[in-house]
Amino acid sequence: MSGPPACPRGGRIRSTRPTVSGGRVWSLGRLAEFRAIADSAGVTLHCDGARLWNAAVASAVPPRRLAAAFTTLSVCLSKGLGAPVGSLVVCDAGRVGTVREWRRRLGGGMRQAGVLAAAGLHAPHHHVDRLAEDHQRAAELAALLADAAPGRVDPKAVESNMVLVQVTDAGADSNGPALGSRNDSAAPQAHPRREPGRAGQLAAAGAGSDLVGPTSLNTAPVGSAATARRP
């Protein structure tokens, strides 16, 4: 960064979320295009690789090649791999100090983390191959849903472990009150902060009493579903 700290050079950030595309895998050519754009703009390229392992298994492309286009990369050891917690940042040696500095600034340190660290070390060496089983189950689920509700799911769009279902016209408005009138354990629930859209839909459909969140946790009757579930 050149110039005084009060006048840092700006940059553009491109954010792409795999959840929006249903877990589809980007091609190496597409990743190379992003790398070229970043280089021409003089900015670095970071990959939130929480599902890098899934992309590698689904595309039969080694993780190293998928990650080659990025300046920095983060990977998750718990999504799919089975470790209870854990994420890693991969970068060149010259950036390690900066990464550690920002980790300290943002917090997140843990004590007595040896057992969790052991699980994190075990997962990438023993659980990656079985991600293919997750992908197969997702494909089977998509096929079953497509048969049961034609037009709601596109099985061809399922490449990894995500299945997106179109429910906007599935009659949720008419079913909401009926679901809300059932016992607490079966009532629909949504977190008002994490799922604002779904929370609003449930409220409009007459199931708003089952919203889960800080407010409902403090006011819900003892024994209700809201008190049994933490946000």
Report pLDDT digits (tens) over 166-194.
876 655 555 555 555 555 555 555 555 55
Average pLDDT on 14-40 reads 80
Minimum mean pLDDT among 19-23, 127-131, 133-137: which range? 19-23
pLDDT number for residue 116: 86
* End-of-domain residue from the set 156, 187, 205: 156
- CA 191, 74, 164: angle at the middle one, nearest 5? 45
pLDDT number for residue 154: 93
Average pLDDT on 30-39 reads 91
Q: Which of 29, 127, 40, 34 is nearest to 75 (CA)?
A: 127
Evaluate if residue 103 carries a pLDDT over 80.
yes
Are 46 and 71 contacting, i.e. CB atoms less than 8 angstroms apart? Answer: yes
Check whether residue 61 and residue 32 sit in a common domain. Answer: yes
Whether 163 is covered by a domain: the verdict is no
Minimum mean pLDDT among 40-49, 64-73, 111-120, 199-208: which range? 199-208
Check whether residue 135 and residue 195 sit in a common domain. Answer: no
pLDDT number for residue 121: 92
- CA 33, 60, 118: angle at the middle one, nearest 5? 105
The pLDDT-based confidence of 105 (bands split at 50, 70, 90) is confident
Give how many domains the chain has, as a whole number: 2
* End-of-domain residue from the set 104, 131, 156: 156
| Structural domain containing residue 211 | 171-228
pLDDT number for residue 207: 46
Task: Write the CA distances from 151 to 21, 40, 163, integer angstroms.
Answer: 17, 42, 13
Q: Tell me, yes or no, if the pTM score tops 0.85.
A: no
Evaluate if residue 50 carries a pLDDT over 50.
yes
More confident residue, 16 or 137: 137
The pLDDT-based confidence of 195 (bands split at 50, 70, 90) is low
Q: What is the CATH number of the domain that holds 122?
A: 3.40.640.10
- Tokens (6 digits) for 166: 């179109």
Neighbours of 16 (CB within 10 A): 10
Summary mean pLDDT of the chain: 75
pLDDT number for residue 16: 57
Check whether residue 88 and residue 176 sit in a common domain. Answer: no
What is the 3-state secondary structure of the chain?
CCCCCCCCCCCCCCCCCCCCCCCCCCCHHHHHHHHHHHHHHCCCCEEEECCHHHHHHHHCCCHHHHHCCCCEEEEECCCCCCCCCCEEEECCHHHHHHHHHHHHHHCCCCCCCHHHHHHHHHHHHHCCCCHHHHHHHHHHHHHHHHHHCCCCCCHHHCCCCCCCCCCCCCCHHHHHHHHHCCCHHHCCCCCCCCCHHHHHHHHHCCCHHHCCCHHHHHHCCCCCHHHHCCC
Beta bridge partners of 46: 72
pLDDT number for residue 217: 35
Place of tokens 């854990």: 86
Whether 66 is covered by a domain: the verdict is yes
